[in-house]
Structures are given as C-alpha cells and as structure tokens.
Amino acid sequence: AQSVSQHNHHVILSEAASLELGCNYSYGGTVNLFWYVQYPGQHLQLLLKYFSGDPLVKGIKGFEAEFIKSKFSFNLRKPSVQWSDTAEYFCAVKTGGGNKLTFGTGTQLKVEL
C-alpha cells in the first residue's frame, strides 16, 4: 500500500524566510502528487499538483514543488513566506483510478512577524 511521509510536523519561521517542506511517498508506479493547504477553521485548498511533464510545478501564492522520481520526493518550497502563510500543509498522493488520496500527517507552519 502507498504511504506518504511528511518529515516536519511543526515549523516556525520568521517573515521573509525561505520554506521547504519535505514529502516522500512509497509507491513504485505512476503517481499523481498534490500539496493542499488548510487555513485555520477552513477546508483544504489545492496549492499545486503534479501529474506529468515538467517536474518543477508552480502553484498559487508563490509556492512551487519539485518532483524527484529517484528520491520518491515532492518537496514544497516558497522563497519568502508571509504571516498569512500560517496554516497546515498536506502532501497527498493518488494512485490508480478514482479520487482516492493518501495523505501525509501534515505540517503545521507558523510564520511570525
């Protein structure tokens, strides 16, 4: 069965610092990869997704992620975080048909002024 690991459970950064959140998955076949963000009290919103093609994916709000197949990784990056980026971030993988996602346990990001 596939699984998703997010290495950082809690991250605290100052505004303007750079962000990188790790995500590794375990599945040998074709995967679709996602990063979702959940602001306090809100539902999940899609930040970006990778299905195929360019492994460097750009998403909303200045986020990007790089798919490295050899490392089974899909790390999320942002060059300069803002206080409004405080949220929980989830990496997810979809394998096979349907819309069945396997999620990582999430990373709580707190950006301090």
Partner 1 sequence: NAGVTQTPKFQVLKTGQSMTLQCAQDMNHEYMSWYRQDPGMGLRLIHYSVGAGITDQGEVPNGYNVSRSTTEDFPLRLLSAAPSQTSVYFCASSRDTGNTIYFGEGSWLTVV
Residues that bind partner 1 (CB under 8 A): 4, 9, 32, 34, 36, 42-46, 49, 51, 90, 92, 94, 97-106
We find the least distance from the C-beta atom of residue 75 to partner 1, in angstroms, to be 17
User: By C-beta, is 17 or 49 nearer to partner 1?
Assistant: 49
User: By C-beta, is 5 or 17 nearer to partner 1?
Assistant: 5
Phi/psi for 97 (5° steps) reads -85, 180
Please state the separation of Cα 15 from the chain's center in Å.
19
We find the least distance from the C-beta atom of residue 39 to partner 1, in angstroms, to be 12
DSSP one-letter string for 19-58: EEE--EEE-SS-EEEEEEEE-TTS-EEEEEEE-SS-SEEE
User: By C-beta, is 19 or 92 nearer to partner 1?
Assistant: 92
Distance CA 97, CA 58 (A): 24
